Every structure is written in structure tokens, then in C-alpha cells.
Structure 1
């Protein structure tokens, strides 16, 4: 399996000004934007770390997921959540021939933690031996930062601030995320059973 991010989070969607307020930067001074590139990089790093830990996509963007075989022939758990739309499903044979499947043959089964690609009839399209399926989908809580759940947004600020505080150190030495960040993420973590197979 392979997951490729097809679009990135636009800079305008990042809560840069709110992060500056969180850090209490520039109080009583004019903001010349001199640290904006660093703060943007810290926010992106924190978002990536939190998405990796929870399997939740914070800001909306597109993905392509490649799979060699379905774990369940009638439904397949998708690798991240929340998924808002499946835009295309393609089946490729071993010679590279592509068949775009009709949207009438599959559906998105919405779920906060484990959305699924489901067959509308009995079975998902068969993946030929040596072939693969590619699923294009849109995922994320929303396009604007206001759509991100408050606890996840706070976890991003805390982790980005942690990165900011330790930015000059070669190694943090603490090993892993701060406890406060982990506590905020706990309810969003998905317990993976059988790699997404039906349970």
C-alpha cells in the first residue's frame, strides 16, 4: 500500500497569526514578518506529526492511495480520516492498462475514525494478479483552520511551540511528543485491528 498526498496545505490556511499570539511574539513591537518562514515550517511539521500519530487529516487536501489487493472483497478501510469524497477508482493490470470504474460500482462509507470504500453491489472491482487499484479521494476536517477540532488545533500549537523552543538543539533528548500533546490526541487515535480488515 502507498499513500501519496496530491495537494498541500496552502499557506493562507495556516493559523500563522494565531500561532504568533500563542507564542506571544512581538508584543509591543512592529511585526516585520521576519520569522514567518520559520513559524510556517514549525506549523507544518507539527501538523504532519499529529496527522501521522492520529491518522486524521486536519486541513482538506487530495490523496491517491494504491493497494495491491483488497483485505475484504466487499469493503476496504481507507488509510486516513475523515474522508469527504472518493473522486475516482482505477484498476491497473500488470501491463499498465487502466480501467476507470464507474462511480455507481462503489461508495464512500463515512466514519470519523475508519471510513471505507464499499461496494454498492456485492464486491469491489477485482484487482488482477500483478495489478493494483488506485483510489483518489479528498480528506480533511475542512479547508479553513476553524474547521479543525479545538483539541487537535491546540495540540498543533503546543507541539509547534515545543519545536520552536528547542529549535537550536541538535536533538531534543526527550524522545517523543510532550505529554500534554499526547493527552489531547488520545481520543483521536485509531486502534488498528488486522490492518483495516473487517472486525
Structure 2
């Protein structure tokens, strides 16, 4: 059962500052600040979240995870590392939407897995793909809590895109991600054994 994912709130800022990127690129002028900020956001988005290359949330953000029903003793969700369960909703068999008490569920897991347990059993729900939804927060509360090599991967990727602004560089071997970035991603990606 693949959950439906909706990002409710994006991270307030990337885990790397514009100033750090400018130092990395040895840029002192402010005339490229807007473009560099955009590169930081794009590099972060490439790695961040359940759909990113890492499969994990880097900075604090919130997601809605919707499923057709609770299954078994625990429901695995792809939002890691989860930090809180903010709201739970169900669509009852009669089609009415109802808020449920988040304290009736337990969010548990670690840096690689997140599960939701229904403490009093799974509620009855309508036959729809979004019948049961959970609003979950995940990610680090500060940039310092993001692994330094992941912050370096963002710098490398943004730097690569700054230097290579076209989709194809003639006369070179094409790659999806620069080798250094790919190595760092492989070390931290969910489901990967380096």
C-alpha cells in the first residue's frame, strides 16, 4: 500500500546559507545572490524529503500521509526522521470526515524508519485511498543538526550547477549527479548499504 504524500509546509530555509555557498564558490559580489539562492533551494530539494535522492527530510517540514486503512499492528510511512504527529483524520464509512485524537496513535521509529501504531486499534474508514490521514513533522530543527557531509553535498551540487548552467556539457561524460555528491548521498540514502 503506497501512501499519498502532500507537503504541508516546506523547510523555512535550506541547511546551507547563501554566505556559505558564496565562500565555497569564492564569490564576493552580491549581483548573483538571487540566482545562488535559487541554486541552494534546488540542490536541497534534489536531496530532501521522501521523494528526494536521500529519501529523508533534512530540515523541519510537515507532510500529510494518507492511506486507505491501517494495516497490521503498525503502519510504515516514508517520512523520516519523524519528529511529531500533529493531526489525524479519517473519513468514516458513511463518508463524513472526522478529526481523531493524535494521542490515540504512537509515532515511533528512528533515523531510517517511521511507524504509526494505533493504540486502540485502527478506526473503521470509508473505501477510499485517502480514508486515513496523518499530519507528520520531520527533519532537523537547525542546520547544525544536518550531517556536515550532507551540507557539503548541497554545496557541491549547487556549485556544479553554477559552473555548468546547461543541460549538456559537450566533450564530457554526462552524469546525473557529480561523483562526490553521489558518494555522500549513497552513504545517507535510505535502503542503501554503502
Q: Give the structure 2 partner of residue 186 of structure 1.
A: 186
Map of 1:47 onto structure 2: 44
Q: Distance in 2 between matches of 1:190 and 1:184?
A: 12
Match of 1:61 in 2: 61
Structure with bigger helix share is 1
Secondary structure (helix, strand or coil) at the match of 1:44 reads helix
Structure 2 residue 97 is matched with structure 1 residue 98: yes
The TM-score normalised by the length of structure 2 is 0.84
| Compared CA separation, residues 103 and 180, structure 1 to 2 (3 A) | same
- Give the match for residue 157 of structure 2: 159
Aligned pair count reads 183
Gaps of 5+ in 2: none
State the Cα deviation string for residues 82-121 of structure 1 (Å, max 9, x = none).
1100101101147652121122320110311111111224
- CA distance in 2 between counterparts of 1:186 and 1:126 reads 40
Query: 1:14 touches 1:40 (CA, 8 Å); kept in 2?
Result: no
Residues 184/170 of structure 1: CA separation in 2 closer, same or farther (3 Å cut): closer
Q: Please show how residues 27-176 of structure 1 align to structure 2 within 5 Å.
A: 31=29, 33-51=30-48, 52-70=52-70, 72-93=71-92, 96-121=95-120, 123-130=121-128, 132-142=131-141, 144-167=142-165, 169-171=166-168, 174-176=174-176
- The runs of 5 or more residues in structure 1 that have no matched partner are 193-199
Runs of 4+ in 1 over 6 A off after TM superposition: none
